């Protein structure tokens, strides 16, 4: 039996705890309908096939002021190489960030800069503009409301989740 262990992206040195390993995935021989359960309080996501747990990973959900919506949803659409039209950076013609981590709906574009949307690989939209996607996963809630999955686990969740897969987001 092979269990795939993934490592999380390096966490910058700051005053918070280091990230734990991303998680594990083992779906060999598993069958049944896919289902994703996200536990916001744990900052974890669980992937089931039928009643069998086949994957578990750390996640980063919405930071204060940008909460991740709780409830029962389903995967509405998928995009393997999605780029945000809302969040990203204002950059100059050389690609240098003029203003980082902006919300294009609220933050004014500096003169001579253009919008560069945040990369959201393996995006699975489950309600409105909220998605699960690959991204930076510190050991706390840090997103604009999306559910970030670590590199190495996002692709597993994406590949195993057809449109219509139930997504349950709990406190």
CA atoms within 13 A on the CB side of 107: 17
Report the pLDDT value the prediction gives residue 141, as an integer from 0 to 100: 97
Report the pLDDT value the prediction gives residue 8, as an integer from 0 to 100: 35
What pLDDT digit, counting tens, does each position of 45-57 carry?
A: 999 999 999 999 9
Report the pLDDT value the prediction gives residue 21, as an integer from 0 to 100: 63
Report the pLDDT value the prediction gives residue 16, as an integer from 0 to 100: 43
> What pTM was computed for the model?
0.84
Report the pLDDT value the prediction gives residue 133, as an integer from 0 to 100: 98
Report the pLDDT value the prediction gives residue 161, as an integer from 0 to 100: 98
Category of 101 on φ-ψ map: left (φ > 0), alpha (ψ -120 to 50) or beta? left
- DSSP one-letter code for 93: T
Report the pLDDT value the prediction gives residue 1, as an integer from 0 to 100: 41
Report angle CA 57, 60, 63 to the nearest 5 degrees.
160
- DSSP one-letter code for 66: S
Q: Considering only CA atoms, which of 81, 105, 88 is closest in space to residue 154?
A: 81
How far apart CA 19 and CA 4 sit, in angstroms, is 18
Distance from the Cα of residue 109 to its chain's centroid = 26
Mean pLDDT, contiguous 10-residue spans, the chain (171 residues): 37 42 91 97 98 98 96 98 96 96 94 96 96 96 97 97 98 95
């Amino acid at each position: 039996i092979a269990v795939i262990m993934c490592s999380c992206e390096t966490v910058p040195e700051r005053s918070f705890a280091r990230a734990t390993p991303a998680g594990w995935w083992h779906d060999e021989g598993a069958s049944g309908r896919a289902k994703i359960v996200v536990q916001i309080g744990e900052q974890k996501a669980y992937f089931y096939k039928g009643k069998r747990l086949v994957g578990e990973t750390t996640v980063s959900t919405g930071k204060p002021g940008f909460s991740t919506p709780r409830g029962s949803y389903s995967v509405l659409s998928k995009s393997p190489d999605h780029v945000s039209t809302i969040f990203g950076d204002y950059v100059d013609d050389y690609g240098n960030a003029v203003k980082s981590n902006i919300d294009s709906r609220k933050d004014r574009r500096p003169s001579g800069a253009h919008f560069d949307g945040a990369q959201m690989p393996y995006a699975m939209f489950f309600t409105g503009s909220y998605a699960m996607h690959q991204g930076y996963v510190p050991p706390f809630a840090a997103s604009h409301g999306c559910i970030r999955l670590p590199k190495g686990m996002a692709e597993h969740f994406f590949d195993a989740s057809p449109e219509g897969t139930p997504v349950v987001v709990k406190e």
